[in-house]
A and B are shown apart, each in its own frame.
Chain A
Amino acid sequence: MKNIQVRVNGHPVAREIPDHRLLVDFLRYDLGLTGTKEGCSVGVCGACTVLLNGQPVSSCLALAVMADGGEVTTIEGLAEGDRLHPLQQAFIDYGGFQCGVCTPGQIMASKALLDANPHPTPAQIKEWMMGNLCRCTGYYKIIEAIQAAAAEKTEP
């Protein structure tokens, strides 16, 4: 067992966990943050995407101990109260999801994209997002949603 301290969505969290706990299970079952989904379990589908120290990672391939001392952002950490993050609103307005199970991962991955590149071209969006599989939308509306959110995104 290990004691780890992680800032999760801005809040400090301390837990004792088994050394081999995966980050996705730590979030979902130790912290109850079930917004992060597990799809393929092998780092391919992207449903479990969270930001670890600002970088998108597959939480199904990360050990929770490797987040010790770090900062994790999940889908639950994006909205401010009732105010949705512009990406969240755009995914609704532009039809960027259907069943919604890949959506937390899609939104976290696209947040990382806009953090790194606030005005991506469609080609850059596709290249960045190709690791987030969606079986419902065919991706067209995800790309539109990200473009729309980027267009409204105010410079920091």
Chain B
Amino acid sequence: MNAFTYIEPATIEEALATLVRHGEEAKLIAGGTGLVNLMKQRLVNPGCVVSLRRLAGLADVNLDDGKNLLIGALCTHRTLESSPIVREHAPLLAEAARRVATIRIRTMATLGGAVVHADPNQDLPPALIALDARVKLRSPKGEREVPIDQFFTGYYETVTQPDEIVTGIAIPPSARTTGSAYLKFLPQTADDYATVSVAARVALNNGTIADARVALGAAASTPLHARVVEDALRGQAPTRKTLEQAAALVGAIVDPIADFRGSVPYKRDMAIVFVRRALGDAIAAAGGAVI
């Protein structure tokens, strides 16, 4: 790891000013599990590392008046998996967080880091897409919100500007008859990146699928929102055949890379299998049954 200057701003304004001052030399650090690994391999060599850890309030979990779930960027994966509020209002996010790496990573790694790192193999982004989350960003010019499925622009790339800090996530309330599931396919060992992962959320209405969200990890250069699957499900009865046909549509949109976790054709086939399974599990969680 190359030497750098470590700065710990006390306020968000100070942090933003530090980013502006150091420009491209600066990198933000939260839990550090991503950045430190990259720096140790000298893949990223910032002259200045700006820590967010002293910024008050950025690790909070709250519900606003509109029942939106507001989660600060510094909230750790461990908090996401164990927070009663998250577990009640976004069980999909809690489950995806629980499946991330190991307990040591989850105690350090943060929600903001997981989002801004934009690793298409990670677990939280598909869950956040399936939850219609919005990413809150702050810059010296002010605040903005970006729907999560417009946030990721490429492999490890996002819409975040060099002078911006991700401050948190907002998740709108789900209908009561909604169920969700997060499936992570780990055919090698229990501690691995997914060969494919699927987050699914299904809202039922009188025995039909009112709405659905499906997103995949490890399936493309960005976390993948499978709208084509959702469109095929809306208004349909949850039959095994419907799920199979809808899941099969994901085959045309996945664009995985071949690696030791699987070839492209295998990952494509597994995406189809796990979309179908996740939808089935989500329907069951919503109190429905696949017929």
Q: Does chain A touch chain B in the assembled complex, meaning CB atoms less than 8 Å apart?
A: yes
A residues near B (Cβ < 8 Å) are: 2, 18-20, 22, 41-44, 46, 49, 55-58, 61-63, 65-66, 109, 112, 128, 130-132
Are the CB atoms of A43 and B103 closer together than 8 Å?
A: no
Given the contacts A20-B3, A41-B40, A61-B32, A109 and B104 also touching, CB distance less than 8 Å: yes
Given the contacts A62-B108, A131-B105, A55 and B78 also touching, CB distance less than 8 Å: yes
The CA of A65 and the CA of B7, in the complex, are separated in Å by: 10
Are the CB atoms of B190 and A130 closer together than 8 Å?
A: yes
B49 at the binding interface (Cβ < 8 Å): yes
The CA of A44 and the CA of B1, in the complex, are separated in Å by: 18
Identify 21 residue pairs between A and B in the complex whose beta-carbon atoms are under 8 Å apart, listed by A's number: A18-B3, A19-B3, A20-B3, A22-B36, A42-B37, A43-B104, A44-B191, A46-B102, A55-B108, A56-B104, A58-B105, A61-B36, A61-B37, A61-B108, A62-B108, A63-B29, A66-B51, A130-B190, A131-B102, A131-B191, A132-B102
Q: Mark B1-22, 1 if CB is under 8 A from A, else 0.
A: 1111110100000000000000
Chain B contacts of A57 at CB under 8 A? 104, 107-108
Chain A contacts of B33 at CB under 8 A? 43, 58, 61
B101 at the binding interface (Cβ < 8 Å): yes
B53 at the binding interface (Cβ < 8 Å): yes
Are the CB atoms of B103 and A131 closer together than 8 Å?
A: yes
Chain A contacts of B36 at CB under 8 A? 22, 61-63
Size of B's binding interface in residues, CB under 8 A:
27
Are the CB atoms of B37 and A56 closer together than 8 Å?
A: no
Q: Mark B108-120, 1 if CB is under 8 A from A, else 0.
A: 1000000000000
Residue of A nearest to B37 (CB): A42
Are the CB atoms of A131 and B104 closer together than 8 Å?
A: yes
Are the CB atoms of A49 and B32 closer together than 8 Å?
A: no
Chain B contacts of A22 at CB under 8 A? 1, 36
Residue of A nearest to B105 (CB): A43
Are the CB atoms of B104 and A49 closer together than 8 Å?
A: yes
Closest CB in chain B relative to A37 CB, distance in Å: 14
Given the contacts A19-B49, A20-B1, A58-B108, A63 and B6 also touching, CB distance less than 8 Å: yes
Chain A contacts of B103 at CB under 8 A? 56, 109, 112, 128, 131
Chain A contacts of B102 at CB under 8 A? 44, 46, 130-132
Are the CB atoms of A20 and B6 closer together than 8 Å?
A: yes
The CA of A108 and the CA of B6, in the complex, are separated in Å by: 28
